[in-house]
Amino acid sequence: MRRILTLNTGSSSLKFGLYEDAAEPVMLLNGQVDKIGADARLILDMDGVKSKQVVPATTPAEALDQVITALRMNMPGLSIAGIGHRIVHGGPDFADPMVLTAEVLAQLEEFAPLAPLHQPHNLAGVVAAQAAFPEAVQVGCFDTAFHRGHPWANDTFAIPRRFYDEGVRRYGFHGLSYEYVTGVIEKLHPELHKGRMVIAHLGNGASMCAVRGGKSVGSTMGFSALDGLPMGTRCGQIDPGVLLYFIDQQGMDPQDVLRMLYKESGLLGLSGISSDMRKLLSSDAPEAAEAIDYYVFRARREVGAMTAVLGGIDALVFCGGIGENAAPIRERIVEGLGYLGLVVDDAANAENALDIGTGAARVMVVPTDEERIIARAVHHALASGAKVNPVHAQTRSA
């Protein structure tokens, strides 16, 4: 049986899944290397049994080495036919999963300035995977792809028009998550899938998507993964005049501003305590409460904005680590949105049930599975006869 490996390579973690190749891939095990650096640890989940161990992994490439070692220990004779990669930014052109040739990778490298926290690490994971499994087909799946096809007015900025043609436009992210969630809704509730949904992907990264008939028509994230909602360490929406003030009046270097907006802001910056919502919810510090207040305020505001894009709402769907598990946050976001027909049932919400609403519009919790979307894309590539480009493999692995 052919095996598929999925990789989601970030700056501080590498998530992976191993599947049997099938029209609906069958997961064999999954896990991640967390806290890449001096404190890296490998977390492995096989048949519901989890194990954790400290591993030497100071870079994403070393983390992949640890993953490969663990896979081969648990799956003797392991052979990988295809590897799927989450690529955060696909730019204006990449809307479908692609076999990662040298030409495609070169284009994707050009988008690194648009997603500096993610894209370089995503592509480094591809190179490391090519070296480890040179006979495997490498497939890229793009987080921006779900949002291609927006109306022009939804994607542009009110700046000189030539910049839109140069690629300065709203892209939207978390598309793999939205694709999975809309697929679940289509299977469970076909009529709802035809309607108007706001999907809230709330995790360390956070965004909302306005979906009509299963298609994205609006997103809170824009040109970069900074826009919209506040996140674990990212600022979300900010007046561009503030950035000019930092540079012109505070004398900050652009790289210092970039680091602050991506790594020192959001829940961490507001609270001064943690980027982890669980820690903030359990804290008695007033700064933690204020950070949560801001998070909830912005989330509620964006639900209204996405509802306006849709011209109404039939369902609000929560997913992501916070969206799936933090019942108090869901309750507070929906509180006050009764005018949209959104009301939370306290008991169902506390149980993280599928349906947690009692109003005219549904409120739902759908656990997302980006890795499964990637595994499906690899299956389709293999089924269509995709082959490794030998020159590409040799060049990129050198």
Q: In terms of C-beta density within 10 A (0-12 exposed, 13-18 middle, 19 or more buried), how is residue 147 classed?
A: buried
For residue 346, give the amino acid letter. Answer: D
Strand ranges across the sheet with 362-365: 215-219, 206-212, 196-202, 315-319, 362-365
Regarding whether 363 and 375 lie in a shared domain, the answer is no
Residues 64 and 137 in one domain: yes
Vertex 41 angle, CA 40 and 46, to 5°: 150
In this structure, are residues 140 and 83 in contact, taking their beta carbons and an 8 Å threshold?
no
Beta bridge partners of 43: 32, 52
Residues 249 and 300 in one domain: yes
Domain count, the chain: 2
Which among 143, 155, 314, 369 is annotated as catalytic? 143
**Exposure pattern of 43-78 as b/e (b: 16+ CB <10 Å)?**
bbebeeeeeeeebebeebbbbbbbbbebbeeeeeee
User: Is residue 178 assigned to a domain?
Assistant: no
Residues 122, 198, single domain; the answer is: no
Per residue in 91-140, pLDDT (tens digit) is 988 989 999 999 999 999 999 988 888 899 899 889 989 988 999 999 99
Which residue range forms the structural domain that includes residue 259? 189-367
Round to whole Å and give the CA distance between 19 and 2. 9
End-to-end CA distance of the chain: 30
- Supply the pLDDT for residue 118: 87
CA-CA distance, 137 to 139, in Å (whole number)? 6
Query: Do 125 and 194 reside in the same domain of the chain?
Result: no
The answer to whether the Cα torsion of 180, 181, 187, 191 is positive or negative is: negative
In sequence order, what are the residues at sequence separation of 6 or more whose Cβ sits closer than 8 angstroms to the Cβ of residue 157?
163, 164, 168, 169, 170, 222, 223
Please check whether residue 152 lies inside any domain of the structure. no
Q: Would you state the pLDDT for residue 392?
A: 46
Q: What is the number of residues in the chain?
A: 398
Residues 133 and 102 in one domain: yes
Question: Which pLDDT score is estimated for 389?
Answer: 61
List, in sequence order, every residue forming a beta bridge with 6; answer none if it has no partner.
17, 84
Q: Residue 84 domain-assigned?
A: yes
Q: Residue 121 sits in a domain of what CATH number? A: 3.30.420.40
Based on the domain organization, do 219 and 309 belong to the same domain? yes
**Rounded to whole angstroms, how far apart are CA atoms 280 and 272?**
10
Pair (349, 389) in one structural domain: no
Quick one: 238 and 360 in the same domain?
yes
In a domain, 200, yes or no: yes
pLDDT value, residue 76:
85
Residues 322 and 389 in one domain: no
Is residue 388 domain-shared with residue 262, that is, in the same domain? Answer: no
Contact 315, 291 (CB under 8 A): no
Residue ranges of the chain with pLDDT lower than 50?
390-398
Asked if residue 391 and residue 354 are part of one domain, the reply reads no
Task: Retrieve residue 183's tokens.
Answer: 């697929």
356 assigned to some structural domain: yes
| Residue 112 forms part of a structural domain | yes
The whole-angstrom separation of Cα 14 and Cα 12 is: 7
Domain-embedded: residue 256: yes
Q: Known catalytic residue: 143?
A: yes
Residue 59 lies in a domain: yes
